[in-house]
Structure 1
């Protein structure tokens, strides 16, 4: 029951008295009321749900309550003070950084995972296999390796994989709990905040952006810099470039992380659809550069 679940998750005895074998609705509701008071004291977010909702068997609201408990005690276990408002962000940053370290950019928990490559990258980041096969992986293969790393049967199958965000958060939190550390999570957050503070930075665009050759690839370089001209170290997922032609058409742009002499820069390419000057717009974490 809810009392036993809360005691197990919090690893603390209840402050309120619980009737062990409630026979009447009044006793059941009283037990639930005490459970809700305990959850409030634990900092579990309780939105639009009360004792009567659980007692009446509302599946939707009860599932919402269970998700709040998962967010608080599982996903949020590395979050300072168990702040559930930061728990999702911490998980996202951890997964994104781990995947990008293995060469895969992740911006969400659904579509970016559906081909299995992001999961393969996550597996590779926590335990390198020395086999560069991420590009050839399948969802089934990624799930199998994940099950081996987690030493537990997979919660998902290939058909239902990466179709619902909350389910994926719960699934990925298994990696987070087994391979993540509090120091890593706090470091991720500090790095993200540091880049966000530098969003006033300017970007130099190197390349032929005026009167490009029609239908032929044109390359350019984006170099995020701070006010002092120093290159900002940031992730590929934090940079977004858009290009608009003279007639207002949006031109697809591809960005990749620079290597070697271009380290710290982002190399982009586009194929124009018409001649003439193009308007370039670069954003760092949602802010114009």
Structure 2
């Protein structure tokens, strides 16, 4: 596993926003769906605000959802306005509070500004949510296992922590076999691996997502239809795999080949 093909999404922080500018419509649709599922799953566990995201670009613009996410992930309390959707100055204040908080934590926010978030600009919103997932969820979980917490190291550990022959975070996961094997690494015997056949892609994926949610309390962020495609979205798959590593860090430690 020395020549792992790390996804561009986690190579260099400075490239994050530029990458999201070039998304194709279908890839963007899948990421919006995955990030919406991730936000709702994250907030449902620790936040008393029952508000859910149904339209990511619209719902995030007032900054309240964004601040709730940061509070949940960091156990912090952040000042927020509760603006009506038409009160742009208050929306900008909330988003500014969120971005300044991230900067204080050392996050580089290249080409991300308040007005683009308030305007619901897809490339900027997706880039920001991805950086939050990468740095506040995945990196925080893995930091004690890494000498350095740069993107390449995170990519290596995300791949190797499964003890699976994953060459990337795209095609390697399409058949569903790796998802099922990952579940068995965490909970041996949860899945009868002999029943996992390469030709039964949709069944493999449905089985993995169902059992992960039922037995491991891993929210179903992905749909089989979105993974069984010519070019599965790497960012979405990393986001989902990161849920396993966040929830089961000790089990993951036992699988490391580092």
TM-score norm. by structure 2 comes to 0.59
Cα distance, 1:50 vs. partner?
0.8
Contact persistence 2:170–2:237 (CA under 8 A): yes
1:63 — aligned with what? 126
Match for residue 255 of structure 1? Answer: none
Q: Aligned to 1:5, which of 58, 69, 77?
A: 69
Which is richer in helix? 2
| Pair 1:120-2:183 in alignment | no
Whole-angstrom distance in 1 between the partners of 2:80 and 2:196: 55
Q: Distance in 2 between matches of 1:164 and 1:183?
A: 23
Which has the larger Rg? Answer: 1
Q: Which has the higher strand share?
A: 1
Kindly provide the CA deviation profile for residues 71-124 of structure 1, in whole angstroms up to 9, marking residues without a partner as x. Answer: 1222223222794634333212213x2x2xxxxx21111111222222232223
Which one of 17, 38, 48 corresponds to residue 111 of structure 2? Answer: 48
1:109 is aligned, of 160, 169, 173, to 169
1:165 to 234, 237, 255: 234
d(CA) in 2 for partners of 1:45 and 1:89? Answer: 22
Q: Deviations over 1:111-155 (max 9, x none)?
A: 112222222322232223284516635333333144213325633
Of residues 63, 81, 85 in structure 2, which corresponds to 1:19? 81
The reply to whether residue 155 of structure 1 matches residue 155 of structure 2 is: no
Q: 1:89 to 1:48 in 2, by over 3 A?
A: farther
User: What is the rounded CA distance, in whole Å, between the counterparts of 1:71 and 1:146 in structure 2?
Assistant: 21
What does 1:253-264 correspond to in 2, within 5 Å? none
Structure 2 CA distance for aligned equivalents of residues 157 and 135 of structure 1: 18
In the alignment, the residues of structure 2 paired with residue 84 and residue 9 of structure 1 have an alpha-carbon distance, to the nearest angstrom, of: 20
Q: Tell me the C-alpha RMSD between the 2 structures.
A: 3.0
- TM-score between both structures, scaled by the size of structure 1: 0.53
- The superposition leaves residues 224-282 of structure 1 with CA deviations (integer Å, 9 ceiling, x where unpaired) of xxxxxxxxxxxxxxxxxxxxxxxxxxxxxxxxxxxxxxxxxxxxxxxxxxxxxxxxxxx
Task: Report the alpha carbon displacement of residue 24 of structure 1 after superposing the two structures with TM.
Answer: 4.2
Question: Which is worse superposed, 39-48 or 143-152?
Answer: 143-152
How far is 1:182 from its partner? Answer: 8.5
The runs of at least 4 aligned residues of structure 1 exceeding 6 Å deviation read none
CA-CA distance at 1:38 after TM superposition: 0.5
1:141 aligns with 2:141: no
Secondary structure, counterpart of 1:20 in structure 2 = coil
Bigger relative contact order (CA 8 A; separation at least 6):
2
Contact 2:67 2:98 in 1 (8 A): yes
Stretches of structure 2 lacking an aligned partner (at least 5 in a row): 1-63
User: Partner of 1:75 in structure 2?
Assistant: 138
CA shift, 1:54, in A, is: 0.7
Within-5 A mapping of 1:199-278: none
Shift of 1:174: 2.2
2:197 touches 2:204 (CA, 8 Å); kept in 1? no
Matches of 1:47 and 1:184 in 2, distance apart?
A: 33
